[in-house]
């Protein structure tokens, strides 16, 4: 393993992403990047989260190329990991799709259920693990 860690294959990276309770979605609005923490799920290889009307949703509508990141540390081994997904985001409007995924979505930080559901369809997946140095 080098200083950059060990690359994860796509399947392992998505499994790590799915194991995280919180991730961060990056959108561009009016030429500026914004990053927001969100509760999410990975459903059928697609990252899904709820949101209210605002900058996050504006970014999805005006510039649907987004990034999503989550990371974590294994408490037992000290191994850290990070996964980044780049893809196309869209608000879910199809009633059948909403009925399928809404029961699977987590509660938000506030406990409220924002009215919009967003999906990110990955174009690129990048994941790495890093182990602490041996003594």
Report the alpha-carbon distance of residue 97 to residue 49 in Å, rounded.
13
Could you tell me the CATH number of the domain that includes residue 87? 2.30.110.10
Residue 1 in any domain: the answer is no
Is 43 part of a structural domain of the chain? Answer: yes
**Count of structural domains within the chain:** 1
Q: Is residue 61 part of a domain?
A: yes
Q: Residue 1 above 60 pLDDT? A: no
Q: Does 135 have pLDDT greater than 60?
A: no
| Alpha-carbon distances of 23 from 47, 109, 116, rounded to whole Å | 10, 12, 17
Exposed/middle/buried for residue 135 (C-beta within 10 Å: 0-12, 13-18, 19+): exposed
Q: What is the pTM for the complete model shown?
A: 0.89
What domain range includes position 125?
6-130
Quick check: is 135 in a domain? no
pLDDT single digits (tens) 54-86? 888 888 888 899 999 999 998 888 889 999 999
């Amino acid at each position: 393993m080098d200083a950059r860690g060990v690359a994860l294959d796509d399947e392992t990276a998505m499994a790590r992403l799915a194991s995280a309770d919180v991730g961060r979605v990056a959108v561009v609005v009016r030429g500026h990047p914004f990053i927001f923490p969100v509760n999410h799920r990975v459903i059928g290889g697609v990252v899904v989260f709820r949101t209210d009307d605002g900058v996050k949703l504006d970014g999805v509508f005006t510039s649907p190329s987004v990034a999503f990141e989550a990371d974590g540390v294994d408490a037992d081994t000290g191994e850290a990991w990070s996964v980044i997904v780049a893809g196309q985001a869209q608000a879910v409007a199809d009633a059948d799709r909403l009925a399928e995924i809404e029961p699977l979505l987590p509660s938000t930080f506030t406990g409220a259920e924002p009215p919009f559901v967003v999906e990110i369809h990955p174009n690129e997946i990048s994941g790495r693990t890093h182990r602490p140095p041996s003594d």
